Structure 1
Amino acid sequence: MNRLFYIFILVICPFFNSIGQNWNLIIHNQAVQDGMKRFDYEKTPKDSLTGLRTVNQYVLSLHEASYLEAATDSILYKKDTLEAFVHIGPRHHWSVLQSGNVPDEYLFRSGYKQKFYSNTKFSFKELAALENAIIKYSENNGYPFAVIALDSIDLEQTYFRATLNYHSGPLIRFDTVAIIGNARVKRKYLESYLGIVPGSLYNQQKVKNLERQLRQVQYLKVTKSPEVFFSKGNAQPVLYVDTRKCNQLDGYLGFQPSSKTNGKLLLTGEFNMNLKNLLQSGKELSVQWKRYDVQSQLLNTSYLHPRLFHSNVDIKLNFNLLKQDTSYLVLDRNIAVFFGLSPASKIKFSTGLKSNTAIGTTQLANIEGANSDFRYLNYGIGYAFNSLDDIFYPMTGWNIDVGVSVGNKKIINYIMPVNPEDAIPTTSTQYGADIDVQKFFRIGKKATLLNHFQGGTVQSENLVLSDLYRVGGLKTLRGFNENNYFVSDFAIYTLEYRYFTDESSYVMLFVNQGYIENKLNNNYTDWPIGFGTGISFSTKAGIFQFIYALGGAKDQPISLNLSKIHFGLVTRF
């Protein structure tokens, strides 16, 4: 019994002593050349397996540095020490890499030039990048089964000679798209949206983008990842999609302290109608009405006609009306043309006519030109990018929308001030820029963190009140009255944490920090901040949302008496 005990001590205990202790790794280089670059490695791996991996990575680094003969000769284990003997060998260079039978167009697209592979150091990464570029171009131009390899390999002393050997495989063309599910959408429109034209050359990149593009369509629900079936030179994409409720009717009711001193609450409201996939062809119609003051309201309408004549061109018509108490009435007509650059990005060109009509003599304090009539003809360019994983309830991805505009503005029926020095030009050039960037970071399985930045600026020598942005409320600066601030420049950063209890319900915590400036009001500036919490959850009637927010600024102290409550019901059909 005692003898067995001593054997246990001598054999087993050293094993346990090594647990939790790092090993020592020593790599002996054999046949090292003078002036050779030193390759560092981790000398204290946590265990022997990690040490072996380190040795293998060391050899791969030598291969990448053109030492093609590098190899591990032997490995010795000594208690907690691992010794590896690595043969280095000479450093190899390209003698020449011949283009072989690779088509000239493929070589040009891949960036191949023979001088890059003649009398230069050999690199596995560069060779792999070249071969991948050739295969990728083949896959996107009708040859998804293409292969490439090195042929006629000749290793002579320190020089390496080879020839590219390319096999294209059969030519493949797209067949008509097959739709499996109850999705109500015209196949031709869907093929145009996905960029898949029956009879066109097979494109692997378009196939890779299928699922992401489908998930960004509000009226489609992806039930299974798309598949592609090949038969007799044809490739048929198969889409597994069902109809998703996306047509939207929703309204919000809000309570906020009245601007008067009677202590009463003011009831505000908003109504939204968004109709998607009209005539099963992706067309959209939206109407928004909002009342944010006793005598102020707005109406925004738009119509989107996608894939004009089955091209990658979308056209959007907008008509907006704004009535600001008894001061002015603004009409804004706009037409925008979108050109698809990729499945996720678009460039926009627009033109519009904005007019302002004074409907009263009321002027806000220290605001010049508040009731001036004008006509503003403008032109703009913009860019949009969307990589969200879900259009309604995103967890990851970007949503970017930026644009700039410029135009000629003419003030009509301008009333000269008493002091001529306070007069503004009746004609001028007006500039504008807008940005809206959202980035969602997934946190675990059920939470996401939204970083949202939005801002805008308008510049002109004859700015009037109706040119300014209206900031504040649920969609911009929470914790403040709807459209509380009239600003010429603003920037708002929102950090919002959402924890999902199911795929369409979540609770949130948020904080938004803003910067505002009004150049018409003695360059008034402020840094308002808002914060709060909210909840959004699914019911049989729709999506119910409740948000409670507090805000603080120069003109509004942080106070529970000035808190803002927003709640509403979003129904989709």
Structure 2
Amino acid sequence: MKLLCLLFILTSPLFSQSPVVKKIKFIGNHSASSPKLQSLIRTREALPLREDVLNDDAHRILNFYQSKLFYLASIDSIVRTFNGDSSETSVVFFITENRPIKVDSMSIEGVEFFLPKAVYDVWNLTGQTFDPVILEENLQNLLSLYERNGFPFAHIEVTGIHLYSCDEMPLMRIQLAVNEGTLVTVRKITTAGQTETKEPILLRELNLQLPMRYDQKAIDDAVMRLKKLSFIQNVAEPELLYLDDSSFALKIQIAEGNANTIDGVAGYVPKQPNTDEKGYFTGLFNLSFQNLFGSARQLDVRWQKKNRYSQDFYLAYTEPWVLNYPVNLGFSIQQIVQDTTYVERSFGIDGSVLLGRNTRGLFGGKQKIIDPAGWTNSFLFNIPSATFYSGYIGFSYDTRDDRINPRSGFFYKTLLEYGKKDETFFTEIADGADTLQINGVPVVGKFVKQKLSTQKISIDVETYWPVTRRFVVFNGTHGWVYKTPQSIVPYSEQFLFGGLNDLRGYTEDFYNGTRIGWNNFELRWLTSPQSRIFIFWDAGYYYRKAYAPSDQTRVITENGWPMGYGFGIRFQTRLGLFALDYGLGKDDPFNNGKVHFGIATQF
């Protein structure tokens, strides 16, 4: 009988389970709605009441009020009201919000170098609602003021925070003490760690004039310039060293990267069935010296064979800091053989001038010659024999934190090019004085010479968003426009795009147009400083005017929005940086994708 009574007591609702929450109510909340507070807590109606969860809910509510700057908010009590058999309960939170604290006055001691106004211009919260985040930002601004004006050892301490009220308004008085430290003059700069680069080259890139009063912003800008050199892998935080003459030296530790690069890609296209054409090789070879003889001079050589009849050769040299000014000048020569239609030869001079920490002005000029493969091809494919002379100006802005695998930053580049061209072409007219044999058929016409103006505009934007330490979202947008007075722009003057560097999922230079644009979106997972895996989605646009296939006297507009998607990988091997992309064009089946791969070897 006693055992049965004990079992009855243990299994009754009063002892076997917590009461169920029937209703939750908030009293005293004016700045936050009851539904908002309800969404913050874990206690729910129709669920059993747990005291540990209820205590946690109180902390959640107070943390929310503090995030809204109600630092004096409190929960006075949490009242639980039970029904007759204690199986259900109602919970009421009694809240006192109080008002946000207002900063009534501020005082600062120990300021000797600056006038009071200069200090209060960067640090003054009087009349504002107290916010610890804003207080911390203002303290950092004050420290930065000292660091930019020769006081890297300045120290700021909050010596007092006093709370009081006036007319029921909570007020605060903040007291600070500044220890300005020693006024630092930098009389010497040394670098360490480099093995190939000459120290004067690095000091020149720093562009700091000695002696100089210590300026943290100027030093940060100088370090960033070093980091952006293609042959520098890392730059440590500069170190201040005390000299015997009561002045200081700045020591900068350098870690050089591999300044020279060889990129090589090779492929073979076998003989096609039922044809007499033999198989052929395709490939790409790129040799780049980014720090020639340790002087930061650059030499680039590139050769590429895209198919049986097309190839590209490019040679460029850049001289940095011409006459010891922050101006880089270079020249380039290039020859492009485009199928069996024409040969393009160009000679260019390119320059850039440093305008700021992340900004460069761009300028240059070019001569380009288009030589069609005979007048027959010139007539059939609308490729005049032409000579171009052009010049351009522009600027770039670059805040990317790494050259190979950026985690964050922004890149912008725009160019405006204006030019003139002299061209000669054959046009068909009944009373022409010249005759051209086209596939054995004589075509009567005449050769025409004309001079025209040209314009090019290009914009390139790249953005990197770090989601986590390894997960990065990348988006790149590019747009190019070419203008001439002609209704039909020759193929040799149009932009070509498609392939690995712009629109993946298509063969190289698959599309052409006088207006083109493309967007590259990637979700990247960084596996190491030089490696990553990613998925991508590319979208492009092209626009051009052409003759109608059925009527060569009628001009039509051709445009389109091609898209590609796929995945890729970059990773470091003993041979170099391995690159592999697999892309699918719009409406392509999975087994019809395009594979792009290569190996970049550095030494």
Structure 1 SS opposite 2:387: strand
Matches within 5 A, 1:491-510: 491-499=517-525, 503-510=529-536
* Correspondent of 2:145 among 137, 152, 155: 137
Structure 2 vs 1, CA of residues 5 and 428 (structure 1 numbering), >3 Å: closer, same or farther?
A: farther
Aligned to 1:475: 501
Matches within 5 A, 1:24-103: 28=28, 38=31, 42=37, 44-46=40-42, 47=53, 48-49=55-56, 51-52=58-59, 54-55=61-62, 58=65, 61=68, 71=72, 75-78=76-79, 83-85=94-96, 87-88=98-99
Structure 1 SS opposite 2:201: helix
Structure 1 SS opposite 2:290: strand
Structure 2 SS opposite 1:523: strand
TM-superposed deviation, 1:248 = 0.6
Distance 1:221 1:465 in 2: 42
Structure 2 SS opposite 1:540: coil
TM-superposed deviation, 1:490 = 1.4
Aligned to 1:339: 354
Distance 1:201 1:411 in 2: 57
Distance 1:349 1:548 in 2: 35
CA contact (8 A) 2:348 2:365 kept: yes
Aligned to 2:483: 459
Structure 2 SS opposite 1:480: coil
Structure 1 residue runs of 5 or longer lacking an equivalent are: 30-36, 64-69
Aligned to 1:517: 543
CA contact (8 A) 1:255 1:564 kept: no
Aligned to 2:317: 303
Distance 1:184 1:278 in 2: 9
TM-superposed deviation, 1:572 = 0.8
Q: Which amino acid aligns with 1:382?
A: F
Structure 2 SS opposite 1:169: coil
Structure 2 vs 1, CA of residues 95 and 251 (structure 1 numbering), >3 Å: closer, same or farther?
A: closer
TM-superposed deviation, 1:464 = 3.2
TM-superposed deviation, 1:361 = 1.5
Matches within 5 A, 1:205-224: 205-206=217-218, 215-222=227-234
Matches within 5 A, 1:133-532: 133-146=141-154, 157=166, 168-174=180-186, 176-206=188-218, 215-222=227-234, 225-229=236-240, 231=242, 234=247, 236-255=249-268, 262=275, 266-308=280-322, 311-324=325-338, 325-342=340-357, 345-359=358-372, 360-363=374-377, 367-368=381-382, 370-388=383-401, 390-392=402-404, 394=405, 396-398=407-409, 400-413=411-424, 415=426, 418=429, 426-441=450-465, 448-462=472-486, 463-499=489-525, 503-520=529-546, 522-532=556-566
Q: Deviations over 1:470-519 (max 9, x none)?
A: 21232223333322333212122233455566554555544432212223
TM-superposed deviation, 1:51 = 2.9
Distance 1:353 1:426 in 2: 20
Distance 1:464 1:509 in 2: 36
Structure 2 vs 1, CA of residues 290 and 361 (structure 1 numbering), >3 Å: closer, same or farther?
A: same
CA contact (8 A) 2:241 2:248 kept: yes
Greater shift in the superposed pair: 171-180 or 256-265? 256-265
Distance 2:288 2:117 in 1: 49
TM-superposed deviation, 1:154 = 12
Residue identity (%): 19
CA contact (8 A) 2:514 2:543 kept: yes
Structure 1 SS opposite 2:377: coil
Residues paired across the two proteins, number: 541
TM-superposed deviation, 1:375 = 2.5
Q: Deviations over 1:205-259 (max 9, x none)?
A: 355567766554432333x842533537655554444332231112222456999
Distance 1:62 1:287 in 2: 61
Structure 2 vs 1, CA of residues 455 and 228 (structure 1 numbering), >3 Å: closer, same or farther?
A: same
CA contact (8 A) 1:55 1:84 kept: no
Structure 1 SS opposite 2:214: coil
TM-score, normalisation: structure 2: 0.71
Distance 1:506 1:532 in 2: 15
TM-score, normalisation: structure 1: 0.74
Distance 1:481 1:339 in 2: 37
Aligned to 2:47: none
Structure 1 SS opposite 2:152: coil
Distance 2:255 2:419 in 1: 48
Q: Which amino acid aligns with 2:184?
A: I
Q: Deviations over 1:62-105 (max 9, x none)?
A: 67xxxxxx84688435466654545549x868699999968778
Greater shift in the superposed pair: 311-320 or 479-488? 311-320
TM-superposed deviation, 1:153 = 10
Structure 2 SS opposite 1:242: strand
Greater shift in the superposed pair: 240-249 or 129-138? 129-138
Aligned to 1:571: 601
Q: Which amino acid aligns with 2:498?
A: G
Structure 2 SS opposite 1:519: strand
TM-superposed deviation, 1:57 = 5.9
Q: Which amino acid aligns with 2:349?
A: N
Structure 1 SS opposite 2:212: coil
Distance 1:321 1:198 in 2: 46
Q: Deviations over 1:111-159 (max 9, x none)?
A: 5799x97xxx444467776665443232222123446679999999579
Q: Which amino acid aligns with 1:530?
A: G
Structure 2 SS opposite 1:341: coil
CA contact (8 A) 1:450 1:495 kept: yes
Structure 2 residue runs of 5 or longer lacking an equivalent are: 43-52, 81-90, 433-445, 548-555
CA contact (8 A) 2:504 2:583 kept: yes
Point out the structure with max Rg over C-alpha.
2
Greater shift in the superposed pair: 479-488 or 541-550? 541-550
